[in-house]
Structures are given as C-alpha cells and as structure tokens.
C-alpha cells in the first residue's frame, strides 16, 4: 500500500525523527488553517479544503448539472424506496481524514444518516461517492481526490467511489491495488435522455 511504503521510506532514513518533526509542524499549521476555513465557509460559497489549501470553484456547466440531476434522481428514488439511507448532492460537505470535500453526489447508509441533525454542516465519510469531471476539474482535483478517497476506502469506511466524465458519459472505477483509475468504465445514460446501464 502507498501509505505503508511512505512510512517505511521515512523510517529507513537516518534523519527520520527530523522528517517527522517537519511533518508534524506542517500538519499542525494545516489544522489551524482548516479550522479557519470552516469558520469562513458559508452555504453561499462553493469551496473545499484540499491538502492545506482553500479551493474555490467556478459555476458548473449545463451538462454537469444535467448529469448530477439525473444521477441524483435515480439514486434518491431507489434509496427512498428501499429505505437505505440518504443521498446528498453538491453542497454536502464531508470531513475526511485531512480534507473537507463537497462531492457532486454521495450516499450515506441508514446507520449513518439516522444520526444526522437538521443543523449539521459537516458529515462523515459517505459509503458511496460520485465525482463528475470536466477537463478543468480533471487537472485540478482528480489526483488529490483519488489518493484521499482511496485512503478513506481503506481507513475510514468509504465503500465505493466513482468518477463520471461528462463528455464521454462514463463512470470510472478506481483501481484499489495501484491507487489510480483503472480506466474501466460503464455508460451512464444513452443518447436521447434514456437511462442506460451503469456500474453503480
């Protein structure tokens, strides 16, 4: 695993203690900035805290919210009928091990969602995440999202995470073994607006 390899590399260094002190100092400063971010963020701002930095996002394109709306309606109806839990979109902020994300679509099991309160603004790791990528998002958010979500899949309970490319209308599944997207995909919907088979 990537995390284990990094730890082993540090422990093999003669200056391992100094390296750990640097990391601890940096993470302590990052924790302070994360607290400031949470005090600053409001429901009217689309922003995330990623690896110590505040990332503010621009308005989404029409094809982005069309895909989000389609997937949200499908999942919400199914989850409601089966009484499986709750589905959140866009502005649901999840607090992960290091970063605060607002994924495009996420699902929380009934065990988790039953504990949510009406005034709650930070939520635990969901059981399922969909991230809809554009070229801009692809270059800026995807690598960091991949690594953190795969880490959470191992350590904090995210059971599944998918990435949806809007131009190609496909869902991509992360390769848990190598920490990257495997390139395997399934169609999200067919032309003409009819819902097709997906890997969800």
- With vertex at residue 105, the alpha carbon angle to CA 129 and CA 119, rounded to the nearest 5 degrees, is 105
All domains of the chain in start order, with CATH: 1-40 (no CATH), 44-187 (3.90.1570.10)
Answer yes or no: pTM beyond 0.75.
Answer: no
Q: What distance in Å separates the CA atoms of residue 188 and residue 199, rounded to the nearest whole number? A: 8
Q: What distance in Å separates the CA atoms of residue 163 and residue 141, rounded to the nearest whole number? A: 11
Please report, in tens digits, the pLDDT of each residue of the chain (200 residues total).
555 688 888 999 999 999 999 999 999 999 999 999 999 999 888 899 998 999 998 888 888 888 889 989 999 999 999 999 999 988 899 998 889 989 889 999 999 999 999 999 999 989 888 888 766 544 444 445 555 555 554 444 455 556 555 555 544 444 444 333 333 443 333 333 333 333 33
Q: Which residues of 14-40 are buried (b: 16+ CB within 10 A; e: fewer)?
A: eeeeeeeeeeeeeeeebeeebeebeee
Residue 155 makes CB contacts below 8 A (sequence gap 6+) with 97
């Amino acid at each position: 695993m990537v995390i284990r390899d990094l730890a082993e590399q540090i422990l093999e260094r003669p200056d391992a203690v100094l390296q750990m002190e640097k990391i601890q100092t940096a993470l302590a400063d990052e924790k302070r900035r994360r607290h400031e971010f949470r005090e600053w963020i409001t429901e009217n701002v689309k922003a995330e805290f990623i690896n110590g930095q505040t990332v503010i996002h621009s308005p989404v394109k029409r094809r982005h919210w069309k895909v989000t709306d389609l997937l949200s309606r499908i999942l919400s109806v199914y989850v409601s009928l089966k009484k499986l839990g709750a589905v959140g979109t866009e502005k649901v902020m999840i607090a992960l091990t290091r970063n605060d994300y607002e994924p495009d679509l996420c699902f929380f099991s009934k065990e988790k969602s039953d504990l949510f309160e009406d005034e709650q603004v930070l939520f635990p790791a969901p059981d399922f995440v969909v991230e809809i990528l554009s070229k801009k998002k692809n270059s800026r958010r995807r690598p960091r999202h991949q690594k953190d979500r795969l880490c959470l899949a191992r350590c904090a309970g995210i059971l599944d995470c998918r990435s949806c490319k809007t131009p190609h209308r496909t869902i991509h599944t992360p390769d848990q073994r190598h920490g990257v997207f495997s390139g395997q995909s399934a169609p999200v919907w067919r032309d003409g607006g009819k819902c097709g088979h997906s890997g969800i």
